[in-house]
Amino acid sequence: MKVTLISHTPYPEKIVASAAKLCYSDTGLDTMLEGLDDEKAAGFVEMLASIGHESPIEHVSFTFGIEGVSRTLLAQITRHRIASFSVQSQRYVKKSNFVYITPPEISCDKEAKDIFEKSMNDSLESYNRLADILEKRHYESFISQGMDEKSARSKAEKKAIEDARFVLPNACETKMAVTMNARSLINFFKLRCCSRAQWEIKAVADEMLRLCSEAAPSIFKNAGPSCVREGKCPEGKMTCGKFSEVTEFYRLMKNNQKKTF
């Protein structure tokens, strides 16, 4: 897994503070940024958090590159609908030797790993055989319609892998670009940084939060799972029971230190 912060709104905390300043003071658009040094901008952001006024943080956005993740991760992350996604297509990109993601619990058990790897190899073999069979039939059909050989070959391959991809597993590796505004990100972290979240999306969310905290520490000061934001676990009997360890993990993360739990 690799998560990269590709870009974000310049001076994110000043942009949020200037939007808040417009809401709460008699200022014009041409003077929104006047007098807003880093300290005052951070103060505005913390004030917004204390009163629950979240709309100004929607004015800043963050774009991430995410790779080395599975299609299972893709199915989960795209449920966060206030976001923009660009994903490598299995319709147009042939997976004749696809990379797959192995869950840690499978990787550490030899018997389970052997079964998993056989399943991946079987899927790859089926995919390639289906692609070859379909491509041959589509090629012959396009040639019979009078299409030139080069165009027929290219079009036949694309049409073949469009259907052959149906046998590819959820473990198949993918890559994507994801953009969210800060408010959506905070909600995303609240849900996906929780220790009860699925391991892969939690790992992605944790790294995204670490990168955001470096870029805009005041905006993401209280970001993290619900227990970090609210000071208690809302999961009831489903709690992981590790409140102290979880809160310490995110405290250290935001101070560029590392700790596992």
Tokens found for residue 11: 């001076």
Distance set, CA 8 to CA 63, 187, 256 (Å): 6, 18, 20
Tokens found for residue 157: 């391959």
Tokens 């206030």 sit at which residue? 82
**Is 165 a known active-site residue?**
no
Amino acid at 164: A
Q: What angle do CA 182, 2, 91 make, to 5 degrees?
A: 90
What is the spatial distance between Cα 51 and Cα 189, in angstroms, rounded to a whole number? 20
Q: Is 196 helix (H, G, I), strand (E, B) or coil?
A: coil
The count of other CB atoms within 10 Å of the CB of residue 25 is 9
Which residue from 162, 204, 224 is spatially nearest to 70, judged by alpha carbons?
Answer: 204
* Alpha-carbon torsion, ordered 230, 51, 79, 6, to 10 deg: -100
Helix, strand, coil shares of the chain, percent, nearest 5, are: 55, 10, 30
Q: How many helices (H) and strands (E) does the chain have?
A: 10, 4
Where does 5-97 have alpha helices with state H?
12-24, 38-51, 71-77
Catalytic residue (one of 71, 91, 165, 192): 192
Q: Longest Cα pair distance anywhere in the chain, in angstroms?
A: 73
Q: Catalogue the active-site residues.
A: 192
